[in-house]
A and B are shown apart, each in its own frame.
Chain A
Amino acid sequence: MPDATGLELLAADLREQVPDAVLDTEHFRGKAALHVAPASIGAVLEFLRGRGFTFLASVHGLDYYPEEPRFGVQYELLDMSALDRITVKLRVPLDDPHVPSVTPDWPTADHQEREIYDMFGVIFDGHPDLRRILMPDDYEGHPQRRDFPVGGEPVLFTYNEAQGTQYTD
């Protein structure tokens, strides 16, 4: 991990290279993270690739409901020669969940962005093939959203039924 100072130096360089990209830096429990603006994610990852973070280990989505902006997308980068990791975080609101896709530059993001689209409904602009990946194509809704009903079958045991318990209304 870049230590707290290293992270600030990295962020300062990034501010020079890509203006208005860095919103915040975070160094928590030895893990460095950059909060960036959604529109600049491609340039930020390109900058970090030049700094040795050549491997995009994971892209994942989050739902901060009921906070706003609600959705988060995180990019975990790995520097394989320096054994260094950094997280790039961005947030998008519910009414405009658009993030530029990084798939053209990082092919590994292809399926992971599709999964985030499937589970959270974040739309990745510029993705070559943005379809659902886990749920059926005609599925309605995005099941990992926190306001999505848990769904499934109501399980009522005899004991609960006698008490009039209703789990799913």
Chain B
Amino acid sequence: MEIVRREKAGSPESLRIRRQRAQELLRGPELEGAALEKYVTERVMTTTLDRALNWARANSMFPATFGLACCAIEMMAIVASRVDSARIGSEAFRATPRQADLMIISGRVSIKMAPIVRRVYDQMLEPKWAIAMGACSSSMGVFNNYAIVPADKFMPVDVHVPGCPPRPEALMHGIFKLRKKIMEDPDEGWRRRYEAIGTEEIVRRDDIDPLADSEVGTGDGRDQAVNVFKPGDTAGA
């Protein structure tokens, strides 16, 4: 086999020609009037920043690595090849709530576990969503007794997936529903539904650096707000 060594474009002339060609390729053809109009409508999409953000959020939900019961086994199956949640970008289960924005409550929550689940949820960064998976975390199912508490009692839930446990396909359906909701109805966020606007967690400076002066905590009182609900809201749990 013969090796052909082509001469590289060494002369300044050919470089100029190539650069012009590349610029034309980027700029597109020189069009005017109706042809330009047609070109723009075909190739350029305009949108609002909100819509673009929602599109990006809906297609990169990171669930928290968080399993509670038998539902967690089905939850693990959604990242496997059969239902493959990677196709909507939610296959990356994050091992810390700080990197996650979707909590799948996969199983029954006992009264003793509820504050811990709530704490993990509070540690997730906004915007965040929650799916109550299975009968236990929605209506308590067969464990409808003194020990178990439904997820709605102590935290906001966006989508309920019924089943005992739901098949991976059902959970995937729930994730698709949530994705649709994020893309189309971002105002349906839980703060609006629970009338909790303005209760975002605000980290005080001495939480970040315990050695710093604690004189910053003299604001309008909002810097004291760490919890999202009033304490009485979880009393029935």
Contact = CB atoms under 8 A, between A and B. Distances in A.
Interface residues of B, number: 11
Interface stretch (B82-90, B143-151, B185-193): B143-151
Nearest to A141: B146
B112 A135 contact: yes
B148 A152 contact: yes
A105 B30 CA distance: 96
Given A135-B111, A135-B112, A155 B146 contact: no
Interface residues on A, range: 10 to 19
A135 B140 contact: no
Interface of B: 111-112, 139-140, 143-148, 150
Nearest to B143: A152
B126 to A, nearest CB: 29
A168 B150 CA distance: 16
Nearest to A168: B144
25 contacts: A134-B112, A134-B147, A135-B111, A135-B112, A135-B147, A136-B112, A143-B145, A143-B146, A143-B147, A148-B146, A149-B146, A150-B145, A151-B146, A152-B140, A152-B143, A152-B144, A152-B145, A152-B148, A153-B139, A153-B140, A153-B144, A153-B150, A155-B139, A155-B140, A155-B144
Interface of A: 134-136, 139, 143, 148-153, 155
Contact of A151 (B112, B139, B145, B150): B145
Contacts of A136: 111-112
A151 B140 CA distance: 11
B111 A139 contact: yes
8 tightest Cβ-Cβ pairs between the two chains A and B: A152-B144, A151-B146, A143-B146, A152-B145, A136-B112, A153-B140, A152-B140, A136-B111
A152 B140 CA distance: 8
A124 to B, nearest CB: 22
Q: Which has the most chain B C-beta neighbours within 10 Å: A139, A149, A153?
A: A153
A65 B148 CA distance: 24
A118 to B, nearest CB: 11
